[in-house]
Structure 1
């Protein structure tokens, strides 16, 4: 889905739901901020804050100064100042919440900002839509030019300026790319000013959007605005298997959601013994193999028998470590182990009452023969009777 300011628009109408931007999934209003001050009146004598937040294609947002004192509300299409010419965007936030957004971006409220010229006329919108409809074809031709020149880069998105005089090409690349000849060829072919802007793989996924493995829209394309570094240590702390196919997102990097619950796991692990703890017993030296944060259980195995795991609670492990500090060895882990939580003793029952998943693998007998035999036996019994 998408609206007139999204890359998936088709004539300004959302695809799929056809609710014209009023769908419940809010996919047409990507990175929208709810204006909870909209119904509140300002104190007597206070002027409305003259800065306005405007959103352009995808997630690009900028703040402009409303020097003309225009009456603007969320959803209005406006013509804004650009480096050369003008651009067309949609108002996403007005009033005091813009001051808060500027504070988050470390901008002074009195800072020099580009200004809003006017509300967009129908002529501005028609020209803007015409340029937007050319973006896919131009992106395809630009990719072909890059392939002919042998450049190791991927042009992922194209964004036209509102007046159609300039186009920004977003690309990803592993190393530095000399695209001077590419700019010359594209400027000659398209007849516009060209700007190349390199973005990361996470920013590329943010601009393109998509559905994640969880079944929901990507966080980076809906609400996530800052990209924090994600390391494999986050997966280790959460006891996740280091499988790149499951831990990687649409961008090919580690999923941003690995950081969501990381602080909770770190707080829970503070009460646990270190994972590299070693237990001294009369039977031998034991190493930690696995930790279950939710049950508060750690699995240990002897060096001589690493396949046999023994489940101990964190209190039992701390007790054994305290005895080891006093140079006292316990008899064995079996004395402390809780047999009822050992993984090899767990028995899973069918609580829902479903049939076996392998019921279709069994060979099916001939029902007709069985039915015929049953009928013949009943006939013989009736005759004998």
Structure 2
């Protein structure tokens, strides 16, 4: 979870990209004396540096903490820090800004590495202590301060928990100042990490930081199946990615006709079966012709609705030109689907040519 060694850009969790690194500031511009430092699992903070301390991305530094000092890795320097603080709504002009003391010494790094190695065992022991006290809570992560004078215990709980006795037990067992910090299910998943159903790392553990509320209405707008097993992520909440395309679907849905569930034609009564919002197509089926689906563009649906209001019934849902174009599209789609299936076939590399049997030469007839 924490990169002790200096890693290249983009290799750490919630990494920051300095898009101003190739742009030199004007000579009259003073050097920006505030840097962004990252700690465990994407926890970041801004620190003020002294004029004689020159830091670069990847430097391990000792920074001010309460109490003592902490060890972190510089993640962003220069004028990009100002933009980052503005995006996170952090007031860099306040007097409460902590200081970056110096680059970490070898002794500081060794002590920090030792503390990091003890965090997992501390988490397991802390869970045992919480279970003995019968507290309805889960210790999901532990983070030691760089000088190992303080420990932050992250936990999740459904209700309010009285952990005063637990803090005393932790202080005696681990010999550190204890801070309990409650986090939500989504924050826990972002700290633990994992692989999503899409096959990629979780968005919340790589780049996603703002946890917006996800409702089932977003799934309905995208016509997703309301199956909790498919819609829920590793945090047991609705997946955050459901919101990613919701605004697009809402904008496209504004162009859909209203009261278009039923259309009347001379062929028969047509019932709406499916709406492909992004393609602008509504799929209907006739009640008298069995399970035969017809894809109708939105403009054609609006035209038929206007005719039905005047008690006029068109011959069919589609005109001849539209039906022929739809047939061509269906043929192309079926051809591409067949090609895709052929590409995914396990026997696509096998030699399908039948071996020709060698004909035996005719033996001469000696009796003739």
* Residue 248 of structure 2 is aligned to residue 260 of structure 1: no
Please give the per-residue CA displacement for 1:244-278, whole angstroms capped at 9, x wherever unaligned: 22222222222222222223323322322247644
| 2:16 equivalent in structure 1 | 33
Q: 2:250 is paired with a residue of what secondary structure?
A: helix
Give distance in 2, aligned partners of 1:353 and 1:299: 25
Which one of 48, 58, 82 corresponds to residue 75 of structure 1?
58
Give distance in 2, aligned partners of 1:99 and 1:193: 33
Superposition deviation, residue 310 in structure 1: 4.3
Q: Write out aligned runs for 1:210-359 (5 A).
A: 210-274=194-258, 277-279=261-263, 287-301=271-285, 309-326=293-310, 328=311, 330=313, 338=323, 348=334, 350-351=338-339, 354=342
Superposition deviation, residue 132 in structure 1: 0.8
TM score, norm. by length of structure 2:
0.81
| 1:365 equivalent in structure 2 | none
Decide whether the 8 Å contact of 2:36 with 2:76 is kept in 1. Answer: yes
Flag structure 2 segments of 5+ consecutive residues without an equivalent. Answer: 348-356
Given the superposition, is the C-alpha separation of residues 171 and 334 from structure 1 closer, same or farther in structure 2, using an over 3 Å criterion?
same
Give distance in 2, aligned partners of 1:129 and 1:356: 47
Decide whether the 8 Å contact of 1:58 with 1:207 is kept in 2. Answer: yes
* Residue 3 of structure 2 is aligned to residue 3 of structure 1: yes
**209-218 vs 290-299, which deviates more?**
290-299
Q: 2:70 is paired with a residue of what secondary structure?
A: strand
Give distance in 2, aligned partners of 1:92 and 1:358: 46
Decide whether the 8 Å contact of 2:266 with 2:316 is kept in 1. Answer: no
Decide whether the 8 Å contact of 1:79 with 1:87 is kept in 2. Answer: yes
Q: 1:181 is paired with a residue of what secondary structure?
A: helix
Decide whether the 8 Å contact of 1:78 with 1:118 is kept in 2. Answer: yes
**350-359 vs 88-97, which deviates more?**
350-359
Which one of 42, 46, 54 corresponds to residue 59 of structure 1?
42
Which one of 123, 127, 141 corresponds to residue 143 of structure 1?
127
Which one of 83, 87, 90 corresponds to residue 100 of structure 1?
83
Decide whether the 8 Å contact of 2:141 with 2:153 is kept in 1. Answer: yes
Flag structure 1 segments of 5+ consecutive residues without an equivalent. Answer: 5-11, 13-19, 360-373
Give distance in 2, aligned partners of 1:356 and 1:130: 49
Q: 1:134 is paired with a residue of what secondary structure?
A: helix
| 2:98 equivalent in structure 1 | 114
Which one of 32, 51, 73 corresponds to residue 90 of structure 1?
73
Give distance in 1, aligned partners of 2:214 and 2:344: 41
Superposition deviation, residue 161 in structure 1: 0.8
Q: 2:36 is paired with a residue of what secondary structure?
A: strand
Give distance in 1, aligned partners of 2:340 and 2:23: 52
Decide whether the 8 Å contact of 1:310 with 1:333 is kept in 2. Answer: no
Given the superposition, is the C-alpha separation of residues 66 and 149 from structure 1 closer, same or farther in structure 2, using an over 3 Å criterion?
same
Give distance in 2, aligned partners of 1:246 and 1:51: 44
Superposition deviation, residue 294 in structure 1: 4.5
| 1:362 equivalent in structure 2 | none
Please give the per-residue CA displacement for 1:288-321, whole angstroms capped at 9, x wherever unaligned: 3211235432123568999665432212211122
TM score, norm. by length of structure 1:
0.78
| 1:199 equivalent in structure 2 | 183
**53-62 vs 210-219, which deviates more?**
210-219
